Each structure stands twice: as structure tokens, then as C-alpha cells.
């Protein structure tokens, strides 16, 4: 699935023009066109803006059904697969919880570096 096609389908289903999305998001109309035509891949923050402007939950950009695709349909990991146990399993569990959380979306989901596995969200500023 190309994300641009899905964005265009949702926009047209709500009878919105690219200009309407431009006004709601602050993104340039030419950028919206480039995304819809598959010339540019938007960042997560941009997808969040577009989902808000289309008044749909974020999962609807990736899933056409009425309810989000469930993780319960996935096969349980085998014991020898990466991320099935130990620190990797803890890391993926935290990451999955953060991605499922619709309210408090973190700006940083994961970072590179030696402490990237210890913390998935930025420290609160004091």
C-alpha cells in the first residue's frame, strides 16, 4: 500500500481539496500533492497532522477497515527469533505499548546510541 493513495482516498471521501488540507495543516499544497502522488514519503509528524486534518485516527491512514488491525492475529514468536526474550523482548514490548497509545504520542520513539534501549521517550524538562 502506498500511503499517498490512502491519504488521497480519505481526503476525497470527505470532499476536501488539497487547499483545505493546506489550511488545516500548514503544509504546502505542492507538498501534499507530492505525497499523494508517491513522490515524497512523509514523516510521522506530518502523517499525524494529516490525520488530524482529515479527522481520522492515525491507524486509518494504514488500515481501511473500521477497527484497527489486531496484534492478536500475529503468531507468537519462536524462542530463537530476535526480540522473543530478554532485553530485546522488553524493548519491543515498550515500543508496542507506545505505538498503541493514541493519546500521548511521544516525539521520540527510539533513539540511536548506548542508552537507546533504556528509555523510549525523552526525559521531562525541569
Say yes or no: 45 and 81 in one domain: no
The pLDDT, as a whole number, for residue 103 is 47
Say yes or no: 56 and 81 in one domain: no
Question: What pTM was computed for the model?
Answer: 0.52
Residues of the domain holding 53: 3-61
Say yes or no: 52 and 86 in one domain: no
pLDDT tens readout for residues 89-125: 777 777 777 776 654 554 444 445 445 445 455 556 5
Higher pLDDT, 55 or 93: 55
pLDDT tens readout for residues 19-53: 999 999 999 999 999 999 989 889 989 999 999 99
Say yes or no: 51 and 8 in one domain: yes
Q: Count up the domains in the chain and report the number.
A: 2
pLDDT tens readout for residues 2-21: 789 999 999 999 999 999 99
Say yes or no: 46 and 82 in one domain: no
Cα angle 28, 6, 18; round to 5? 25
Amino acid at each position: 500500500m502506498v500511503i499517498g493513495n490512502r491519504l488521497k482516498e480519505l481526503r476525497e471521501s470527505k470532499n476536501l481539496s488539497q487547499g483545505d488540507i493546506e489550511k488545516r495543516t500548514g503544509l504546502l499544497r505542492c507538498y501534499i500533492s507530492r505525497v499523494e502522488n508517491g513522490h515524497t514519503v512523509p514523516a510521522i509528524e506530518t502523517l499525524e497532522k494529516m490525520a488530524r486534518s482529515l479527522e481520522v485516527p492515525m491507524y486509518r491512514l494504514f488500515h481501511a477497515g473500521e477497527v484497527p488491525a489486531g496484534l492478536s492475529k500475529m503468531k507468537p514468536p519462536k524462542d530463537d527469533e530476535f526480540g522473543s526474550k530478554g532485553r530485546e523482548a522488553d524493548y519491543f514490548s515498550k515500543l508496542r505499548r507506545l505505538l498503541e497509545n493514541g493519546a500521548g504520542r511521544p516525539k521520540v520513539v527510539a533513539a540511536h546510541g548506548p542508552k537507546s534501549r533504556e528509555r523510549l521517550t525523552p526525559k521531562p524538562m525541569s
